[in-house]
Every structure is written in structure tokens, then in C-alpha cells.
Structure 1
Amino acid sequence: MPGRAEDYEVLFTIGAGSYGKCRKVRRKADGKILVWKELDYGAMTESEKQMLVSEVNLLRELRHPNIVRYYDRIIDRSSSTLYIVMEYCDGGDLAGLIAKCAKERHVNLRGALHEHFLDESFVLRVLTQLTLALKECHRRSDGGVTVHRDLKPANVFLDGKQNVKLGDFGLARILHRDTSFATTFVGTPYYMSPEQMNYTSYNEKSDIWSLGCLMYELCALSPPFTAYNQKELAEKIREGRFRRIPYRYSDELNDLISEMLNVKDYCRPSVEDILQHPLIEAVVTEEQKRNFDRRCLRAREPERLQYSDAAVNELKRKEQQLQDREQAIKEREQRLEQRERELCLRETLAEDKLARAENLLKRCNLHKLEQEVMCTEGPDNALLFPLSTTKKNSVLNGSGEKAVPPHNLENYFLSKGKSSELNRRLYAANLRAQALAELEKSYQLKSRQILGMR
């Protein structure tokens, strides 16, 4: 049953196109953020209205993790407006990502250009997810085939985890049985296939061409075919000549893109061929396992579109608890960062003190060595030790009495005082050296403790 416009709160307008406006809305039942596209069907013919109904039914049938999900439709007969409620992708689209990288690359022309290119792992993941989405479209369970026909970066969206989602099937048409009967001229010129440029019939291989153009632009940050007018662009597309992608990307990726951009549609690989390519085989396995886990989770916990007031209040309470916990974690991180800065400062101070202690110890040892040299080799060595035991009774006169003291008693006692002073200073220097050694050990221990805490 279609919903009502009163069930949603309009937040702001995201953009506008030929179909109408795209707005960001909030579902009042559970607060879920979604988008709706407004389509004015008042001026449509009956056949166009019938096609619009088919397109909406198509959106309801496409359920894949890499396709923008359809949620609801709202019909406002008073204003002849159809609202299509769909999944909101908060990561923007690939066109914005490519434009951002190209802008950074042009701003930093003198810098390291390779830093502004997208990683090959990201490009391969985008290729895998888009190919899986196209496989869902090209080989539907009811036997029909959906050709997107307008695959371009602006129609590929990113979620919060940088997963891509293919959207905007407003121009797609359901093709039953023979898929070569689509001859309507729609699409973006930069990504149109040669058969579209030649106004000939085309099938799902046109999407493979557009996918190759998109992959090329992800690598080179510009489309493979550019021109100043549509006639020149059509000629370049028909020729199918383009430069190699930047050499930072592998030859295998370049070869795969070249196969997808083959001017002969029957020479282009199918979605199955791309998914079996050795370059993305591991990524495909990982994505398929993740998609299988998601389907199992949805089977166990089917989503309910309507919620009771008690359930909504419980969800809001849990959300508030999570926000409070997140805020507490942020505050704890800030305290830890402040503590780390304090420890770094203390470590710096300890290293400075240790350096000063080592300097003082070296000076003390040097001073001690100078004192020893002065005491053992100086010219006044005899005066420094006048009462030595080895010479205590060596000087006697003829009558057995002690020899006469030095002639200059004043110089003798002055030398004796200097010797005592030097001995005291030497003793004090030894005490300071021991204290500095103990201080050095203490600072080394603290430094190891600080490094261990970090």
C-alpha cells in the first residue's frame, strides 16, 4: 500500500534534474533518513505513465546490496506528483569523488601527483560491486533483462563504508526475450557506446562499455573520450582509441578496461566474464560471502516498516545511550592524549637533567684526576706531605735529635694549609660524584619507566 507524504519530514533539497527534485527526508515512524524523488506525471501521455509504472515496479524488484534500495511510493493526485522513496547514501557519488581528486591534483601540480589518484584496490572493489549490481539487472529471476543505459559516476553512490550502490533506474526499460530491440536514444554522451552513437539497436553490452568508461575515469580522473562538441566526441567513440590509464595501475587492469571498451559489442566481456577475471576473483569471493551473510541476516530479522511508540522510544533511548558513551570515550581519549603530552614533557626534562648530571660527573672526574696528578707529580710534593711516615725519622743530627724544621716556617705552614684544603675539596668532589652517580641511576630508571608507560 502506498504511503503518505505526511509520514515523512522533509529536511532539505539535495538536487534537481529533468525528472524533478530530490529531497532528503526523515521517516517519522522510526526516524530513518531516506530520500525521495519527485516526478511530475501531469504532462505525461498514457504510454509514458504506463512506462513510469513499469519503472517503479522494476525498482521494487531490484533487491541487491549494491543497488540503491526502493522503500515506498507516494502518489499525490492533487499535484500530479509521484514521490519515490529510496535509500539515502551519505557518502556522495563517484562524480564528486573524482572531481575532488582531480581538483587536488591540479592544485598540487608541483607536488607528488600519485597521492591524489585512487588506490587500485578501491578501483577493483568498485568494479566488482558494480559488476555484481549489473548481473542482478541483466539476469533477473523472471527472465527479463534490465539495461541501465545511463551508467555514469553521478549515478553511482557511496555509503558510509565506501561501498558503491548503483542508482537512478528512471531511464531503464524492461526488455523481455530479445534484448536487441532497445533503440531509444538516452544516456550521457561521454559514456555512450558506439552502437548508441550509431543509432543502432543495443543490448546489455552497452552497459559494459559504460562501465569501462567509468573505470577508466576512476583511474585517469577524466573520461577516455573527450571533445569540444558532440560530433567530434561521436567520432572518437566510434574509433575507440584512448590513452593508457596511468602507469601506477597494473597492466591487468588496463587490459580488462581495454576489453570492455572494444568497439565491437560482441567482443566485450559479459558480467560473468568480468567476475571470473583473475584480477578480481578474490574480491568477488569476498563480496559474495558478505552479500550472503547480509541475506541471511535479513531473513532472520525482517525489516518492519511500522513501529509502535514503545519501540521507537526504546530505539531513541538506546541511541542516546550510545551517544553518551561515545562522548565519554572521546573525553577519555582527550585525557589520555593530555597525559601522553605530560609524559613526553617529563621525559624531555628527565633527559635534560640526566645530560646535566653526566656533564657534572665528567667535570668532577676531570677535577679529581687533576688533583691526583698535582699530588703525585707536582714540584712541591714534599711540602704537601711534610709529616709522611716514610720520612718521619729519617733526618737526624749527630746527637740523635730530630732535624731542624724548614727554614721558612711561614711557607711550610702555608703549604700544609693548602694541602688540607685540597684534601677537603677532593673529599667533597668524591661525595658529589657518588651523589651524581646515584642521581644518574635514578633518572635512568625513571626514563625506562616512562618509555614503558608509552
Structure 2
Amino acid sequence: MSINIKTLTQALAKTAAVIEKTVQTTVQEVTGPKALQDYDLLDQIGTAGPGLAWKLYSAKARDGTRPHQYPTVCVWLLDKKVLSEARARAGLSKVAEDSFLDLIRTDAAKLVRLRHPGVVHVVQALDENKNAMAMVTEPLFASVANTLGNFENITMVPKDLKGMEMGLLEVKHGLLQIAETLDFLHNNAHLIHCAISPENVLITSRGAWKLGGFSFAISKDQAASDLANVPAFHYAEYDTEDSVIPLQPSLDYTAPELVRSKASSVGCSSDIFSFGCLAYHLMARKPLFDCHNNVKMYMNMLTYLSNEAFSSIPPELIHDLQRMLSANESIRPSALDFTGSPFFREDTRLRALRFLDHMLERDNRQKSEFLKALSDMWKDFDSRVLRYKVLPPLCAELRNLVMQPTILPMVLMIADSQDKSDFELVTLPALLPVLSTAVEETLLLLVKHAELIINKTNSESN
């Protein structure tokens, strides 16, 4: 019997491909999604996303031989088995679980496509096996929900989150950053987010506030032309706890036009209402609506919203916040309008943080003038603002040899108030290149502060 060599070769190639795929599948089932193969998890830092189902971990790449954009990253991990067990305990269907996982996939896919400084940056796209889902992003601190004391799904609460209260300046800066990101979404990406809430706003390890949670996002064109494709949310008329597998945005942060049984319109103003609810929660330290997904309670609270509800809100914000939270969509300001609020405009410390945000874009003369003013102002900043908002841009600017003699004293003054682990993580990496190249005035400054640097790095810190 003659053998057809071509047919045999094709059969062998096909068999090899099947074997390779089987091996890859087996390896993935044993080791988990790609993120868990490429990165070593360090500590859980928080949770995020719908129902805070994502566990967030600080992590480092296993391959230390090639350069990485970030020394540490954030691995997002969702355990499907835990989710399935929680779903079963709550008496929910497998269909609900599958729908929820589809929402997670939709969010992850949109995050990869959206490129903007105000959107969480994805380092490695979502990967999954039958047991887990995982993706990798830029390093994060936590979600805003975690900073407000919601520690759902956190195994051991990090010490930085325990009893944490953000100061007004940090909240202002964060809200301004989210407003600018919303302006980009609405006017450049032409998207309506539809789910602005504390669990979908992330704070990076450098203190920037960024948006995630795009599961329900729709295009403005889609919202304007085809209401059949606009998400229809159906909330119960009684108290429910659907936090195990939430298949729609939290009612506490959802605009009334998305809640009504017949949505008259869905537009950018829907995001502004949700953003107003977020701003209120951060300012008042409690949610404006706390209605357990009960639509009757929600509508009743909205109808009888009084001026008294705004008694704990800064006076310069009340007018704009009341407009944002109006049931009348036409009254709500745009995201860009909100950035011009006196709440932001009249704060000189906030202007200083905004300059630091864009410091690398300024020329040396502008930097020198600003730093002279900052040298008198920095003592008014609380420790979190100094650590997350002031120090990182100053450390980045140490690469500028002309500015080193001006910036170094400020970096060292702030470093004096840091604990050793914080110093080694944030400040020391920026100082090491300076230590090896310092001359003249910079060298004298380092010698003068040598004891500080030695004390912050001695081995007893571990």
C-alpha cells in the first residue's frame, strides 16, 4: 500500500497542533490565566468593579530580564468558583452568573480600546480559564469605594485603607480629574458611561483618579438614534440585595431617566447626575441615595430632595451640585462646565496641584517661579497629598539637571516626614541617579542631608 507523503505530513501537522493546544489548555488550567503565569502576586490592595467582584493585587513581573513600563503593576483577579458559590447561596440562576461574566468581558474589552490618561491603562488584556479571569493594569492604590470604607471582598484590609479619610483638597483634585475624563468621553470618544460610581473610579499608586467599569457604556449615536439598543434597567419596587451578581448599575448612582420604565432620553447628562451622586458621597461622607435598589424609595427621595440635604456640602459647590442632581436633564451642566465651578477655580492649592500634573510640559522659567511659590505652600498640604500628588512629579523632575538645586531641598524636606518603607518605594529610586551624578550645589545639598538618607535606608527598616 502506497503512502501519500503530503497527506501524512498534513495529518502529522494537524495532530501536532491538537497536542499543542491540549498542552496549552492543560497548562492554563493548572497555572491559571496568563496574568498569573507572568506575574507574582504580592498583596491584595483592594477591590473594584460591579459588586466589587474584582480583587486587586500589587504584583511584579516574573521575567526580570526585560524592561517593563511599571516596576509593579496591578493584577485584577476574579475567582469564578467563588462567584458561582455566592450565586448558588443567593438562589440566583446560572444564566445570571453567565450574564455577569459577559459584562466583565465587555468592560475589559472597552478598557483596552480606550486610550486616555484619565482611563485605567491596561498592561495585559483579560485572559480566563474555567476557574478565573485576570487582567493587568497600571499600579493602583484602591477603588474610591474602598477609600469610603467599603471593604467587600477584601481578605485583609491594607493598613493604608483602615480608618482612611481623604482631605478636601485630594477629593477636589480627584473630582476635577474625573470631570476632565468625562469631558473626553462625551466629546471625543462619544461615549456615555452609564455607571459612574465609587467602585468604578480607581486611584492609581501615584494618586491620579481614573475611570474604569465600562460594562454599560454606549455610544452617543446609539443613544440618540436607537432607543431599542439603549440599556433598559429594571429595578424592583422593594428592597433587594443584588450586590452578589449586579446586572445593572447601582441605583444609588443612576440617573432618573435610566430608572423610569419608559426612558425618555439617555445622554451625557445621565453621567453628570451619577457624577453628582459620587461628588455628594465624597463630600458628605454618606451616599445621597441609600435605597437598597428599591426604585420607589429612590423616586421618593429624589422628589423630596431638600436644601437641608446639602448642609454638609461646601457652600461654593452647592449650586453646581444641585444642578448636577436635577431631575430635569436640561438643567445639568456639562462636565466641562463643572470644571469651571468656583469650587475648583478659587482654590490656590488646587491650582498648584494642577501645575504639578503638567509640570514636565512647562519650561524652566515657569517651573522656577512656581517652585518658589510652592516652597511656602507645601506645608499646607496633608501627608496623603504630599505623598501622592506633590512628591511624584517633583521626583520625576529631578532628571532635569538645571532644576535639581531648586527641587532637591523640597524633595528632602518631604522625605523627612516619610516612613522608611515609603521613602524606599517612592523617593529613593528618584534619588539614586542624582547620588551618582551630583556635582557642585546638588552635591553639597546631598552631603548636608546625608544623615537623613542614611537613616531612611538603614537595614533596620526591614
TM-score interval for Structure 1 and Structure 2 normalised by the shorter chain: 0.5 to 0.7
Q: Provide the rounded CA distance (Å) in 2 between the counterparts of 1:320 and 1:263.
A: 49
Q: 1:156 to 1:28 in 2, by over 3 A?
A: same
**1:225–1:242: 8 Å Cα contact kept in structure 2?**
no
Correspondence list, 1:396-415, <5 A: none
Equivalent position of 2:178 in the other structure: 130
Equivalent position of 1:10 in the other structure: 41
**1:66–1:165: 8 Å Cα contact kept in structure 2?**
yes
Q: 2:138 aligns with which of 61, 79, 87?
A: 87
Q: Partner of 1:280: helix, strand, or coil?
A: helix
Q: 1:81 to 1:21 in 2, by over 3 A?
A: same
Q: Provide the rounded CA distance (Å) in 1 between the counterparts of 2:274 and 2:360.
A: 28
Letter in 1 for 2:72: K
Q: 1:250 to 1:294 in 2, by over 3 A?
A: same
Q: 1:195 to 1:287 in 2, by over 3 A?
A: farther
Q: Partner of 1:66: helix, strand, or coil?
A: coil
Equivalent position of 2:283 in the other structure: 219
Show CA shifts across 1:51-81 (max 9, x none).
77654442123233332211111534x5375
**2:316–2:342: 8 Å Cα contact kept in structure 1?**
no
Q: Provide the rounded CA distance (Å) in 2 between the counterparts of 1:122 and 1:238.
A: 28
Show CA shifts across 1:361-410 (max 9, x none).
xxxxxxxxxxxxxxxxxxxxxxxxxxxxxxxxxxxxxxxxxxxxxxxxxx
Letter in 1 for 2:268: E
Correspondence list, 1:111-130, <5 A: 119-130=167-178
Q: Which has the higher contact order (CA 8 A, sep 6+)?
A: 2
Q: 1:240 to 1:289 in 2, by over 3 A?
A: farther
Letter in 1 for 2:61: R
Q: Provide the rounded CA distance (Å) in 2 between the counterparts of 1:46 and 1:222.
A: 32
Q: Partner of 2:270: helix, strand, or coil?
A: helix
Q: Provide the rounded CA distance (Å) in 2 between the counterparts of 1:216 and 1:35.
A: 30
Q: 1:8 to 1:213 in 2, by over 3 A?
A: same
Q: Provide the rounded CA distance (Å) in 2 between the counterparts of 1:157 and 1:51.
A: 18
Q: Partner of 2:75: helix, strand, or coil?
A: strand
Show CA shifts across 1:74-103 (max 9, x none).
534x5375432112322x333333349xxx
Equivalent position of 1:61 in the other structure: 113
**1:146–1:172: 8 Å Cα contact kept in structure 2?**
no
Q: Does 1:193 align with 2:238?
A: no
Q: 2:194 aligns with which of 149, 158, 170?
A: 149
Q: Provide the rounded CA distance (Å) in 1 between the counterparts of 2:315 and 2:127.
A: 51
**2:195–2:217: 8 Å Cα contact kept in structure 1?**
no
Q: Provide the rounded CA distance (Å) in 2 between the counterparts of 1:54 and 1:117.
A: 33
Equivalent position of 2:88 in the other structure: none
Which 10-residue stretch deviates more, 262-271 or 154-163?
154-163
Q: Provide the rounded CA distance (Å) in 1 between the counterparts of 2:105 and 2:149.
A: 35
Which 10-residue stretch deviates more, 246-255 or 122-131?
246-255
Equivalent position of 1:388 in the other structure: none
Consecutive unaligned residues of structure 1, counting only runs of 5 or more, are: 101-115, 302-314, 336-454
What is the CA distance between 1:261 and its match in structure 2? 0.4
Q: Partner of 1:158: helix, strand, or coil?
A: strand
Which 10-residue stretch deviates more, 256-265 or 228-237?
228-237
Q: 1:72 aligns with which of 116, 120, 124?
A: 124
Q: Provide the rounded CA distance (Å) in 1 between the counterparts of 2:430 and 2:209.
A: 29
**2:78–2:132: 8 Å Cα contact kept in structure 1?**
yes
Equivalent position of 2:210 in the other structure: 165
Q: 1:34 aligns with which of 71, 74, 99?
A: 74
**2:72–2:139: 8 Å Cα contact kept in structure 1?**
no
Q: Provide the rounded CA distance (Å) in 2 between the counterparts of 1:249 and 1:49.
A: 38
**1:27–1:34: 8 Å Cα contact kept in structure 2?**
no
Q: Provide the rounded CA distance (Å) in 2 between the counterparts of 1:289 and 1:321.
A: 22
Q: Does 1:179 align with 2:226?
A: no
Q: Provide the rounded CA distance (Å) in 2 between the counterparts of 1:253 and 1:11.
A: 40
Q: 1:22 to 1:119 in 2, by over 3 A?
A: closer
Paired residue total: 296
What is the CA distance between 1:265 and its match in structure 2? 1.2
What is the CA distance between 1:38 and its match in structure 2? 3.6
What is the CA distance between 1:277 and its match in structure 2? 3.1
Q: 1:334 to 1:74 in 2, by over 3 A?
A: closer
Q: Provide the rounded CA distance (Å) in 2 between the counterparts of 1:117 and 1:4.
A: 32
Q: 1:117 to 1:195 in 2, by over 3 A?
A: same
What is the CA distance between 1:244 and its match in structure 2? 4.1
Q: Provide the rounded CA distance (Å) in 2 between the counterparts of 1:175 and 1:288.
A: 30
Q: 1:98 aligns with which of 133, 148, 152?
A: 148
Q: Partner of 1:79: helix, strand, or coil?
A: coil
Consecutive unaligned residues of structure 2, counting only runs of 5 or more, are: 1-32, 85-93, 151-163, 234-247, 363-392, 400-424, 436-445
Letter in 2 for 1:97: T
Q: Provide the rounded CA distance (Å) in 2 between the counterparts of 1:117 and 1:266.
A: 34
What is the CA distance between 1:254 and its match in structure 2? 0.7
Equivalent position of 1:435 in the other structure: none
Identity %: 20
What is the CA distance between 1:131 and its match in structure 2? 0.3
**2:145–2:199: 8 Å Cα contact kept in structure 1?**
yes
Q: Partner of 1:179: helix, strand, or coil?
A: helix
Show CA shifts across 1:174-201 (max 9, x none).
3152424323322112111111221314
Q: Provide the rounded CA distance (Å) in 2 between the counterparts of 1:245 and 1:18.
A: 27
Letter in 1 for 2:119: I
Q: Partner of 2:305: helix, strand, or coil?
A: coil
**1:63–1:69: 8 Å Cα contact kept in structure 2?**
yes
Q: 1:213 to 1:244 in 2, by over 3 A?
A: farther
Equivalent position of 2:452 in the other structure: 329
Q: Provide the rounded CA distance (Å) in 1 between the counterparts of 2:60 and 2:38.
A: 9
What is the CA distance between 1:215 and its match in structure 2? 1.2
What is the CA distance between 1:269 and its match in structure 2? 0.8
Could you say what the CA RMSD is over the residues aligned between the two structures, in angstroms? 4.7
Q: Partner of 2:116: helix, strand, or coil?
A: coil
What is the CA distance between 1:264 and its match in structure 2? 0.9
Q: Provide the rounded CA distance (Å) in 2 between the counterparts of 1:227 and 1:20.
A: 21
Q: Provide the rounded CA distance (Å) in 2 between the counterparts of 1:59 and 1:150.
A: 14
What is the CA distance between 1:223 and its match in structure 2? 1.6
**1:117–1:219: 8 Å Cα contact kept in structure 2?**
no
